[in-house]
Amino acid sequence: MEKPDKYDSLYIMLSPTIRCNLSCKYCYVNQDVPRSYSDMNINDIKFIYKWVKDYAELIKINRIQLEWFGGEPLVMGGSFIDNAIEAQQDFFNLNEYQIHNTIQTNLLLADKDENIQLLKKHFRSYVSGSMDYRGGLRIMKNGKDSTPKVLKNIQYLQEKGISVGLVCTLTKTNIDYVDEMYDFFKSHHIDFRVNRAAHVDNPDLQSSVISTKEYSKAVMHLFQRYANDENPDIRFANFDMMVRLYLMGLSDICVTVTKPHLHLAFEANGRLFSRCRFVDQIGNYQKEQPQVILSRFKDMTSSRVAPQACSSCSFFNKTCMGGCFGERNLDCFHSDCGYRGETNKDLWEFLDNFLTTQGYEYGAYRK
């Protein structure tokens, strides 16, 4: 296992519930959730904190990013999450540990007073939501598109002084409107990143899923829009992330490839995953000690084999390592990642050419 470097932090995804008030057509969560699944209670959360503290000590990391996820985390109630975050100081000496809480929400409940207070108190008045511009696949339980309600809530949050970023999924429905999408997000002061829809077992979805090439073409077009914007008042996260890594000369695009032990996803009933739970369950935190899980990661790292499709790519060692951008792909490094690698290659070629032409050097801001 590599020694931690100064950039390393432990990334924790914590899903106190997998319940959700939406029924998005591309949702992957309900595919593999046991019927016995329950919500976490505050004692479950505290158990996880203790486990994470022991694990962090083991790997000598004192920087923790904790992302509240779901399901929809806000169905737990703002006061539950408030209490849960307050309890962190009982387990972590905050002079010694730096804990950065973030939340990913569908924003449907974001207009409630307790949630507004929560976002101000614990999330630095910034919320990352999910909404697909011209999407139509994020459906409420009553069958209606959630977008109008979410837009209304975004406006309300902004009026209350809370900044909003959005994760927007690209599908056949909206991929022809990326220019309009960019203008919309910019005019509404919304940071955004784009993803592809995951491959889920939903026949209704198949006609909506875009190809690797369609995706990279759309992202490159957005790169051009953003990079040539004279007044880029918002952040297009896909571009920012890749340029940042390029300039800093970091090859571990997806640290889940090179440092999988830094990524843990906790669900109820002890279910513990690596890599944002997109791959196999790695263990059970209620039954297994951190040392056991860590040794399992060591086995995972040593058995890793690069995809054949990556072997001839000039960006593999330089910028990519076959990792993903968290772009919602279920295929992973250890299996067949051909189509994701194709996306990576397209985007790195574009950026490498763009940045070199503009006079920027790879690794120029390496620390």
Partner 1 sequence: MKKNKVVNQIVDSIVREGTAVNLAGWHTDAWKMPQ
**Residue 184 interacting with partner 1 (CB under 8 A):** no
Residue linked to tokens 């940071």: 191
Q: CB within 8 A of 276, min separation 6: which ones?
A: 13, 256, 263, 265, 326
Choosing from 15, 17, 88, 104, the residue that interacts with partner 1 (CB under 8 A) is: 104
**Residue 160 interacting with partner 1 (CB under 8 A):** no
Show the site string, 60-99: x = touches partner 1 by CB under 8 A, - = not: ---x-x-x-x----------------------------x-
Q: From the CB of 203, what's the least distance to partner 1, in Å?
A: 26
Choosing from 52, 150, 167, 272, the residue that interacts with partner 1 (CB under 8 A) is: 167
Burial of residue 249, with CB atoms counted within 10 A of its CB: 0-12 exposed, 13-18 middle, 19 or more buried: middle
For partner 1, the closer CB: 236 or 339: 236
Around 355, how many Cα atoms within 13 Å sit in the side-chain half-sphere?
21
Q: From the CB of 60, what's the least distance to partner 1, in Å?
A: 16
Integer-rounded Cα radius of gyration of the chain:
20
Choosing from 15, 88, 128, 319, the residue that interacts with partner 1 (CB under 8 A) is: 128
Tell me the one-letter amino acid at 238. N
Window of 27-35, 148-156, 286-294, 353-361 that interacts with partner 1 by CB under 8 A? 353-361
**Residue 208 interacting with partner 1 (CB under 8 A):** no
Whether residue 363 has a cis bond before it, omega within 30° of 0: no
Q: What are phi and psi of 131, to 5 degrees?
A: -160, 135
**Residue 194 interacting with partner 1 (CB under 8 A):** no
**Residue 125 interacting with partner 1 (CB under 8 A):** no
Among residues 282, 253, 254, 255, the alpha carbon closest in space to that of 267 is found at 282
To which H or E segment does residue 167 belong?
strand 163-170
Choosing from 245, 293, 321, 347, the residue that interacts with partner 1 (CB under 8 A) is: 245
At 287 the three-state DSSP class reads: coil
163 has which bridge partners? Answer: 126
Q: From the CB of 325, what's the least distance to partner 1, in Å?
A: 6
Window of 22-30, 74-82, 252-260, 297-305 that interacts with partner 1 by CB under 8 A? 252-260
For partner 1, the closer CB: 204 or 229: 229
Give the binding-site size for partner 1 (rule: CB under 8 A): 54
Show the tokens assigned to 238. Answer: 């896909």
**Residue 267 interacting with partner 1 (CB under 8 A):** no
Residue-wise DSSP of 203-217: TTTGGGPPPHHHHHH
Q: CB within 8 A of 106, min separation 6: which ones?
A: 20, 21, 22, 72, 129, 130, 131, 138, 146, 150
Judged by CB under 8 A, the chain residues 278 through 337 that form the site for partner 1 are 323, 325-326
Q: Point out which residues bind partner 1 (CB under 8 A).
A: 6-7, 9, 11, 13, 63, 65, 67, 69, 98, 100, 102-104, 126, 128, 165-167, 191-193, 226-227, 229-230, 232, 235, 237, 239-241, 243-245, 247-248, 250, 253-256, 263, 275-276, 323, 325-326, 355, 358-360, 365, 367
